[in-house]
Amino acid sequence: MAQLVVRNLDETVKRRLKKRAAQRGHSLEQEVREILQNAVGGGKARRAGLGTFIARHFAGKGLDFDVSEWRGEEARPAEFPE
């Protein structure tokens, strides 16, 4: 694996990257890796499932709940009492 050093990065950019990473439940390094992978269109970047997206969206916002993804479960209609 290669390492990359970015010099003279504006503090505002760094702060925004940290905030974005926290919102997605990532470390700053992981967030930058994904941004770079998506920018060049290659690598292992893949879209996460809906449960992962929701969990990342609410990460660090003071909400305490677990959202798990139900992979392999058959879709079924909602049932409501009459």
Domain boundaries, the chain: 11-58
* pLDDT given at position 32: 93
pTM: 0.50
In this prediction, the residues of the chain whose per-residue pLDDT falls under 50 are none
Instruction: Give CA separation, 65 vs 25, 58, 72, in Å.
Output: 14, 9, 22
| Interatomic CA distance for residues 29 and 27, integer angstroms | 5
